[in-house]
Every structure is written in structure tokens, then in C-alpha cells.
Structure 1
Amino acid sequence: MLEEEYQPRRVLPAHLRPKPEPEAPFAFTLREARQADLPAVREIYNYYVANSTVTFDEDAMTLREWRAKFAFLEKLGMPFIVAESPSGQVLGYALVQPWKSKRAYRFTVEDSIYLGPAAGSKGLGKALLGELIDRSRAAGIKEMLAVIADQGAEASIKLHEKFGFQEIGRMGKVGFKFDRWLGTVLLQKSLKK
């Protein structure tokens, strides 16, 4: 007999193999962002700046810029939340910011949701977006927009659509990053009851 023919006999039958340890459930809590979270938020965001086209930023954001943004959103009463692991690690964040600076747009926001690289595909984005919508509605926001890259962000588009966002337009070749042209998909959800 050939060596290959002996291989199946060397494997224990399934009922005799030790059972693998169950994987610990992915646990997190959602809470309002705090100043102390900003270094972790910056690291999460800057990962996407350097490695993806989901943001059109090409330069990493500084902690000073994040502090200014945090203060601005806090002053406006805009929701900014984080997902925190049981050990206190920030796993992701979500926020809304004014869509435009003109006063007439004051009830319309754009959302942003970013997850740490190891926190994807675990339901965290869904939890953050659901909480962000609820908090935005409670803050008096009437319309929420999502401006999503047309390449590499298909999961984000699907997530928003599951929450009732509808595509309202596309803009082609409005960004240039990593030596290629990129467009955006615009989605909108009304928060009025």
C-alpha cells in the first residue's frame, strides 16, 4: 500500500476527537463618547485613512483635530457614541455631524461609523447605527444622510439599506485616492415620526 492510503486511518473518528473550546461571545456596550476615547477613535479612523477608500481623507487626523470635532459636536448636541469591550477597549464609534454649515440645514446630518479592524462582521456596525438613529431622533434630527464610497464599502451600503436608507443619488469621480478615481453613493433616511 502507498503512504497516502494510510492517512485516513491516522485521524481519530469525530466522536473521539476532543471538542474545541467554545469561542467567547463578542461583548460590548454602547455609550456616549468621552474626551478620553479620542486617542482610540483617532487610531481607528486613521487606519482607514491609510488603508482604504471608505474615507476620502488622505492625511491622518491629529488628536487636536479630534478634540476640536468632539467639542463642536458636543456644543451642537450631536450624538457621538462608542462601542466598548468589557475590558474598556474602544471597538468602534459612530457620530453625526451637520450636513452643511448653512442654518437651513440644521435638522439634517451625515453619519459616520467606523469599526476597529478586528471588530468587523460581528454585528457591531448594526448596533452602532441603530443606536445612532435613535439618539439622533431624540436630539431632534429630521433627516440623516450617508455619503459612502462607491468602491470598497458595499457592506456599509447594505447596512444602511437594512435600516431604511434609500439611495438618492450618485456622484462619479469626485475623489482621487490611491491613484484611482472614486465616486460616492448618497443615501437618506427620514427620522420624522
Structure 2
Amino acid sequence: MPSSSSAMVTGLTAAALAAIGFLAHQASVTVPAELGRPRASASPSPGVSGVPGAPGASKAPRDKRHPEALPTGSGKGERVVYSVDDDRVWLVGAGDRVQRTFRVTPSTVDPAPGTYTVTSRSNRVTGSDGIPVEHVVRFAGVDGVVIGFSAAVDGSTEKPAPGVKTGGIRETRADGDAMWDFATIGQKVVVVR
């Protein structure tokens, strides 16, 4: 049977590890503005052949009469499609059917075009801009800035302050709910121009 001092050491160790984990997360979501222009921290997988916007590719073709139409060549199968030029997201289900599309407020750091997967999610946290957010769906990183979709708890979708490196792509709360339900761990995210 462990002694009370052994239990105390175990408790202190667990508390210290939790504090280190929290501080590591906080450090990963903010980067000082002076670190310069963002670069991809890892090369996204070209993944889906013919994805417009992949490195060296031109902007994904759009239907100018229907800007909400899914960009042609944005892949196949269930996926989230995010256009960094149009600030729009499409949730694409089975049979390449668009389940929902909506406008977003971009972060100050954009992910490179390519194919990613959802790597982590958080129900509620404080965003890199200090605003409480919910339904955070993370899928990329650029120079230590974590990129993901989220909705501000207060419903705001204002642009981030200039000069601050943030990775939060803001949605309305209703769109954030839809993203949360759709984009589980491992879900494909295709980023196009």
C-alpha cells in the first residue's frame, strides 16, 4: 500500500504535467507578430489529384453566377472544403453532395492549399486572440500557429487585430455547430485558393 508521501508526489506530478500541457497548448496558439511571414510548417499532402490551389496550381474554378457552388476539382468523397480567397467553407457529404456552405472570417495566417485531416478538437477554449470560442476543429499549423475553425461564444465574427498572428477561422455559432457535427478527428479538409 503506497504511503501518503508517495500519493502526494503522484498528485503533484500529475498537477505539474497538467500545467505543462496547458502552457504548451497556449504557446502553440500564439506567435509574436515579429516572426515574419507565415510559411507552412509541414507540406500538405497533394492528396486528391487535380486539387486546384495545390502548390503551383491556379485558383480553383468558380461558377461566377453562383459563388456558393462547390469549386470544381476540390476532391472527392466526404470532406470540408475551405477557400482562402473566397472565405467560404463547404461541408461535402457522401456522393459529393454539399450539405452546407457558409462564409467565414479568416485568420491572419492562412494554411497552404492542399489536403489535410482534422487532428484535434476542443469543445470550449480561449482563442489565440483571447476570445472564448467553442467547437474548435484544428487541421493545420503554420510556423507554430495552429489553424482551425471555431465560433466565438459571444457570436462575434470580427476580423482579428492587425499584426497579431492568429489561426482561428471564425464561423457563426450555427455554422460552428454544423462544423462540429461534421468534422470529426480524421475528417479530410481540402484547402483551395
When the two structures are superposed, what TM-score results if normalisation uses the length of structure 2?
A: 0.26
**Bigger relative contact order (CA 8 A; separation at least 6):** 2
Which of 1 and 2 has greater Rg?
Answer: 1
Structure number with higher helix proportion: 1
